[in-house]
Structure 1
Amino acid sequence: MAYAVGSIPFAYLLLRLSSGKDIRTLGTGNVGAMNTFDVSGSKVLGILVGTLDAAKGAAAVLVSTHFFGDDLPVKMLAAFFATLGHCYPVWLGFKGGRGLATVAGATLLFMKSLVITWVIVWVLAWAYSKKIHFCNISATIGVAFIAPILEPVDALFFIISLVALILLRHRDVMKDAFKGG
């Protein structure tokens, strides 16, 4: 269920409905909020996609806990599978977004420290570089190092799994950065 909710490709659907364009063939090809903004030029559309992507992460956690209980493992599994669905949606040939908004929406409900840590590291990285992808990657790596101090030890595998998934979806950006792009 969480995968199905996470796999709803809001960037693809909203850009297709608003302009007839296929986001997978434009800009970075990434099916997410930032590419939606870049391709459409619309802040409103970019923010709407980001909000909906976060909402589907939250919805997956809320629905899962309603049916399976308010346990941490249930929430972690729902968050992970919603993010997996966003990153690899079956509807788009398993080519989706990078997962940041979906993770944020899901974890804000039960691990606020992850989101707060991510935002703080992101802002510090922005002050240093003014490069969005650098900030996203730095904040994600920062969570991997800081979260074990703030979250229960039984959440570590979940946190590392999400960090790995997000970094995997940023590998194209990291390759470009190392090439000097």
Structure 2
Amino acid sequence: MSLMLWTVMGYLLGSIPFGLVIARVLGLGDLRRIGSGNIGATNVLRTGNRPAALATLLLDSGKGAIAVLLARHFGGETAAILAGGAAFLGHCFPVWLGFRGGKGVATFLGTVIALHWPLGLAACAIWLLTAAISRISSLSALMAAALTPVLAWAMGRADLILVSLFMAALIFLRHRANIARLLDGSEPRLGRKSPR
């Protein structure tokens, strides 16, 4: 029962659409009608408002981390893993938005950092290195997601392989359109402002 409660808590926390709220408060418009239509930090960045994008990144990653840390403190490591995975799921499929949410990259990174900080920092490093080379956010996310389960195994954290695979699979699923654009060379690069 306790594990189920922490899973539900994680999902509800992850469901908070911070990017959408920030964009509306700052008068940036409805993110679902801008750029990719995503509610995450990358699409906020396409509005040209970098502070708003940074705030979205921190809040979206923070909700995954907070879900993990709260569940670990009160419920133990299994509760933390379930809450983190559920927070990620909540971001991708939030109940408040008809289950149409973001792609989960920031929440994924925040969750992994809280679960095992060396693994999380490694995932962030992969994202940053890929972004520095390619200037493509989606490719950076896909690389980080794909390699995190491998790194979890290499670091001796077998308990994190399954949740890492779950999040990586959903990231690839949520990036289907991006993958198609990567293949045909039309995927937009970081920092490009989209028309509203």
Deviation of 1:85 (Å): 0.4
Paired with 2:151 and 2:10, the residues of 1 have a C-alpha distance of 27
Match of 1:152 among 147, 152, 157: 157
Deviation of 1:49 (Å): 0.7
**Aligned residue number for residue 103 of structure 1:** 108
**Matched positions, count:** 178
Stretches of structure 2 that go unaligned for 5 or more consecutive residues are 1-8, 187-196
Deviation of 1:20 (Å): 6.1
- Computed over aligned residues only, the root mean square deviation of the Cα atoms, in angstroms, reads 1.7
TM-score of the aligned structures, taking structure 2 as reference length? 0.83
Deviation of 1:21 (Å): 1.5
Q: Does the alignment pair 1:167 with 2:172?
A: yes
Paired with 1:122 and 1:62, the residues of 2 have a C-alpha distance of 23
Paired with 1:85 and 1:112, the residues of 2 have a C-alpha distance of 22
> Deviations for 1:78-119, whole angstroms, at most 9, x for unmatched residues?
110000001111111211111121122222123113222212
Matched AA of 1:138: M
TM-score of the aligned structures, taking structure 1 as reference length? 0.89
**Aligned residue number for residue 31 of structure 2:** 23
Deviation of 1:127 (Å): 4.7
Structure showing greater relative contact order (alpha-carbon pairs closer than 8 Å, 6 or more residues apart)? 2
> Deviations for 1:112-163, whole angstroms, at most 9, x for unmatched residues?
1322221232243235423222222122212233321114223221111111
Matched AA of 2:171: I
Q: Which moved more, 1:23-32 or 1:100-109?
A: 100-109
**Aligned residue number for residue 117 of structure 1:** 122
Stretches of structure 1 that go unaligned for 5 or more consecutive residues are none
Match of 1:67 among 64, 74, 78: 74
Secondary structure of 1:177's counterpart equals helix
Q: Which moved more, 1:56-65 or 1:45-54?
A: 56-65
**Aligned residue number for residue 20 of structure 2:** 12
**Aligned residue number for residue 55 of structure 1:** 62
Deviation of 1:3 (Å): 0.5
Q: Does the alignment pair 1:42 with 2:38?
A: no
Aligned partners of 1:31 and 1:95 also within 8 Å: no
Aligned partners of 1:121 and 1:139 also within 8 Å: yes
> Deviations for 1:28-53, whole angstroms, at most 9, x for unmatched residues?
000101101212x1110000011111
Aligned partners of 2:149 and 2:160 also within 8 Å: no
- Could you list the structure 1 runs, at least 4 aligned residues long, displaced by more than 3 angstroms after superposition: none
